[in-house]
């Protein structure tokens, strides 16, 4: 069994895989790492290998613990990947983005694929039909947009995503909700449309913490998969076991 660990800027995602099949998944703040890790080890003593992807600093204690209890593969640029990385600054590329591209290559070989990860940030990652990763884009995530309006103004309140919103906000609150949610939906739909103009037969994946909220509000033709990054990490782990 494999233990998959994805440390993002908002939350840690851990999952246990048996082969290609996800058995169980946990989402929690980094401060709960030691408690949850111990619970997982007790529940799944069969775990042999693990892989760690982190986009935050100072995870040396978490790494030590994984090394102590499992055969840890850390996601670094020296691992083998199933795609050609054409990012101009590969050493600064987010580990999470590498995992997303690995998942795209594994699950959509020979397809032009755009992966949208709606987490703390929204990242766009594109790999072409020749399994070349070209890069993409980084923009503020949903929660970050609400927080930024509050933090950088004197009068705007801190709001959270709501189920319902109007195009034309008629109050401060509904104007903020409209601006943030419509802004992000139009950004995503517009980005997809721009890629679709340039690349035929485009496959689009939506993942990350805001997958559910966004997928029901976006245009059709998008595969929503909250576990895409974890699947990519599991694939990289298996890929490197056989190298």
Ligand X SMILES: CC(C)(COP(=O)(O)O)[C@@H](O)C(=O)NCCC(=O)O
In the complex with ligand X, the residue whose CB is nearer, 94 or 232, is 94
96 is catalytic: yes
Q: From the list 100, 141, 222, 234, which residue makes contact with ligand ADP (rule: CB under 6 A)?
A: 141
Using CB under 6 A, count the residues that bind ligand ADP.
12
User: Which region among 36-44, 104-112, 140-148, 184-192 touches ligand ADP (by CB under 6 A)?
Assistant: 140-148
In the complex with ligand X, the residue whose CB is nearer, 11 or 174, is 11
The SS3 assignment for 206 reads strand
Distance CA 105, CA 129 (A): 9
Residue 73 annotated as binding?
Answer: no
At 194, which helix (H) or strand (E)? helix 183-198
Distance CA 27, CA 235 (A): 20
Specify which residues 52 forms β-bridges with.
Answer: 5, 74
In the complex with ligand ADP, the residue whose CB is nearer, 9 or 128, is 9
Residue 95 annotated as binding?
Answer: yes
11 binds, among ligand X, ligand ADP, none (CB under 5 to 8 A by kind): ligand ADP
11 binds ligand ADP, rule: CB under 6 A: yes
Residue 94 annotated as binding?
Answer: yes
Residue 11 annotated as binding?
Answer: yes
Shortest Å distance, C-beta 21 to ligand ADP: 21
Distance CA 92, CA 162 (A): 34
Burial 65-95 (b: 16+ CB within 10 A, else e): bbeebbebbbbeeebebbbeeebeeeeebbb
Q: Can you give the binding site for ligand ADP, defined by CB under 6 A?
A: 8-11, 119-120, 141-143, 208-210
Annotated binding-site ranges for ATP: 6-13, 120
């Amino acid at each position: 069994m494999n233990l998959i660990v994805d440390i993002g800027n908002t939350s840690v995602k851990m999952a246990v895989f048996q082969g290609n099949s996800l058995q169980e998944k946990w989402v929690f703040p980094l401060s709960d790492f030691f408690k949850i890790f111990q619970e997982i080890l007790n529940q799944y003593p069969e775990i042999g290998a693990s892989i760690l992807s982190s986009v935050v600093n100072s995870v040396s204690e978490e790494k030590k613990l994984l090394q102590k209890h499992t055969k840890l593969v850390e996601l670094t640029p020296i691992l083998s990947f199933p795609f050609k990385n054409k990012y101009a600054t590969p050493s600064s590329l987010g580990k999470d983005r590498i995992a997303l591209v690995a998942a795209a290559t594994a699950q959509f070989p020979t397809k032009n694929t755009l992966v949208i990860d709606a987490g703390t940030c929204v990242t766009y990652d594109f790999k072409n039909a020749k399994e070349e990763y070209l890069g993409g884009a980084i923009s503020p995530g949903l929660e970050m947009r609400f927080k930024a309006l509050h933090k950088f103004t004197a009068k705007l309140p801190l709001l959270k995503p709501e189920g319902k919103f109007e195009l034309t906000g008629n109050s401060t609150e509904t104007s903020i909700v409209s601006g943030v949610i419509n802004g992000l939906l139009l950004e995503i739909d517009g980005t997809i449309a721009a890629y679709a103009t340039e690349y035929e037969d485009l496959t689009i994946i939506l993942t990350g913490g805001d997958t559910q909220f966004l997928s029901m509000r976006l245009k059709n033709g998008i595969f929503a998969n909250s576990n895409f990054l974890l699947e990519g990490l599991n694939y990289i782990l298996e890929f490197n076991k056989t190298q």
